[in-house]
Structure formats: C-alpha cells, structure tokens
C-alpha cells in the first residue's frame, strides 16, 4: 500500500510502499478514503523539538481520517464489512483508574495513532474496533475526515453552558473557527473570534455567524462597547497557545468567568495570576475528545444543522500532499483534505 512516512530527522515526508497492516482479533482493517492534515502533522513534517522527542521514526503518520471497513477481527461484533467510519485516534489502556471509571480521555497510558503508533496517512489502517466511530449517511467522508479536530472544538466549546452567554474565542485556526461555530449553534449570544491573520478571520466569518476581530487593529474593549456588552465575556475558549492572546482574554472576562484552554504554548509563559484570582476565573485544560460522548454530540449536531464544511478550503489528491503541507505552513488555509482514492 501507499503511505506517507516520516523516515527520520529533517523536514518532509516520504511516499513509500508499505505492507498492509495485519489486524488482531479485536481490530478492524479500514480502507482509508479521506484524511485531514493537522497542525500536529505539520510539527512532524518540520521535525521540531516536540516531534523529535515524541515520534518514533520511521513511522506512518496522520490521525484524521474517514474510510470503509474491509476486514473484521474474529472477535469483533457490532460492525460490518463495507461500513463507513471514522475513529478515535487516541488508543487507551484499560487498567488505570480513569479508564476503569469510564473517563477514557484521561487515561495516562494513551497513545496517539500517527504520533506514537502507525497512523492513517496510508491506504489501509488497522484500528481497535473499540475506537471505530460509524458515520451516519448524512455525514460525508469529507466531513468524516475532520471529525477529530471538530471533536476538539466541541469538547472545548461544550465545557461550560453557552446558552445566552457572550463567548470569546482566541485563535482563528480551523479548530477555533469550528469552536466558534459550535458556540453559535448551541445558543451563545455574541461570539467574538480574534486573531492577527486576516485570511483566517475572513474564513471564520464565512463558516459561522461570528464577530471576527483583528487585534492588531482593534481592541476588545471597543468591540464589547460596539456589541452593547457591559461587563465582558462570560466564557473564553483559548485556542491559540499565544501568551498575549490569553492575557487579552483574562482582561476581557467578567468576574467569575470561565475559560477552556485547548491551545498549547510553544514555551513556558508568564501569567498574571493576580487578575485570575481577583476575578475568580475558572480555567479548565482540554485534551482531545471525551471518549465517546464528544463523538455522539458532534454527530448529533451535524445531523441537526451544524455546518462546518466551509472550514475545508482545499481538497487535494493524496499525491499532492507536499502542496497541502506547504499551504498549511503558509497559514493561508483552513482544513486541507487529501483524497486517497487518487493515489
């Protein structure tokens, strides 16, 4: 099979022929149809310090996918050949307190496909049946390929009640844009999304009914005044990993406001804890998706009118993967989806 492989240190990926993976009794074999390029994949492409200490190269990477089940392990039940699916890319252990209590997303033994173990940038993927998420007829393979990042957005956005609340999203990357769309879908009043990349802010406005703000030219107090907000934002969704953006968010929150943090800073940062304490802010760190509650909720919302399809700005044949990564690195795109039927 064709696969995209991180062969070792240095920039880029290699298109190679690799054996079709063998499945165990509790696994399924998936014929991959579509994959999404993630920011994590760009880190691996660049081979930055995080990738160098995390990824056991050589290895097939990629973790955002949709496809079709073509083989079932002998112990697998509840799934069928030909079934369309995506899947949870976090492989969990089953012995920790968290797993045994059903908090699978908090399992400390978690490994990621395409990061710690072979991934989905290939014609075929072996995956535990436990991790398979069947796709409803109304959810295309194209959208199925971005359910992983949409799940991050849903997990973050639904961390706190949003009905009637004013929400600030810092970071207009694809996940930030989708989180803003989710917030509007579930009933937030004003949803403001900030960035310094005007291209991405323009994309946010096309995806959802949100207020895009370029903080290089407009400050948040003036935005609040324009929207008739008297105190500030009730809920913050920090998606950027940028210290200045987080500082702006803290300053713009109401007393007793709540912040969900998905963005990962590139380095340790200074935080003004005095403002956080004296504002009585609640801060919650977000990792991945709640397995599988987040999946149920996002599929239900997609079937009930949530439309994030415009966040996909490029559809490319798999053979043009290098162009896809160059476009991602330039910061002038939303999600990029590769078609594995065009190898």
The contacts found for 201-207 with CB under 8 angstroms, 24 or more apart, are 201/172, 203/172, 203/177, 203/310, 203/311, 203/313, 203/334, 204/172, 204/176, 204/177, 204/180, 206/310, 207/177, 207/178, 207/180, 207/181, 207/308, 207/310, 207/311, 207/334
Q: Please name every residue paired with 41 in a beta bridge, in sequence order, or none if there are none.
A: none
Query: 240 in helix, strand or coil?
Result: coil
Instruction: Of 202, 197, 204, 196, give the one whose Cα is nearest residue 175.
Output: 204
Residue of 7, 35, 43, 269 marked catalytic: 43
Residue in 35, 40, 110, 194 annotated catalytic: 40
CA distance 60 to 91: 16
Q: Establish whether 43 is a catalytic residue.
A: yes
Q: Please give the C-alpha separations between residue 13 and each of 8, 62, 137, 297, in angstroms, as whole numbers.
A: 9, 11, 33, 34
Active site residues: 40, 43
């Amino acid at each position: 099979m064709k696969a995209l492989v991180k062969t070792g240190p240095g920039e880029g990926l290699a298109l190679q022929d690799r054996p079709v993976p063998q499945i165990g009794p509790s696994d399924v074999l998936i014929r991959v149809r579509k994959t999404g390029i993630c920011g994590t994949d760009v880190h691996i492409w660049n081979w930055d310090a995080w990738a160098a200490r995390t990824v056991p190269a050589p290895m097939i990477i990629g973790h955002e996918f949709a496809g079709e089940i073509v083989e079932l392990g002998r112990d697998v039940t509840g799934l069928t050949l030909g079934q369309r699916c995506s899947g949870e890319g976090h492989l969990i252990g089953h012995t920790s307190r968290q797993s045994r209590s059903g908090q699978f997303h908090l399992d400390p033994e978690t490994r990621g496909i395409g990061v710690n173990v072979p991934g989905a940038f290939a014609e075929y993927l072996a995956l535990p049946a436990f991790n398979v998420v069947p796709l409803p007829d109304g959810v295309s393979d194209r959208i199925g390929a971005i359910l992983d990042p949409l799940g991050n957005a849903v997990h973050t956005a639904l961390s706190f009640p949003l009905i009637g609340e004013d929400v600030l999203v810092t970071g207009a990357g694809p996940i930030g844009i989708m989180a803003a769309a989710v917030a509007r879908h579930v009933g937030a009043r004003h949803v403001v999304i900030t960035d310094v990349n005007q291209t991405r802010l323009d994309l946010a406005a096309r995806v959802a009914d949100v207020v895009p703000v370029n903080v290089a030219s407009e400050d948040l107090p003036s935005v609040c005044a324009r929207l008739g907000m008297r105190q500030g934002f009730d809920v913050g969704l920090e998606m950027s990993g940028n210290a200045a953006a987080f500082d702006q968010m803290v300053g713009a929150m109401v007393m007793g406001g709540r912040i969900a943090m998905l963005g990962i800073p590139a380095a340790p940062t200074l935080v003004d804890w005095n403002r956080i304490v004296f504002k009585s802010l609640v801060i919650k760190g977000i990792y991945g998706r709640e397995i599988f509650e987040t999946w149920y909720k996002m599929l239900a919302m997609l079937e009930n009118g949530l439309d994030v399809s415009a966040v996909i700005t490029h559809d490319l044949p798999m053979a043009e993967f290098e162009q896809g990564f160059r476009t991602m690195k330039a910061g002038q795109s939303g999600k990029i989806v590769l078609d594995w039927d065009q190898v």
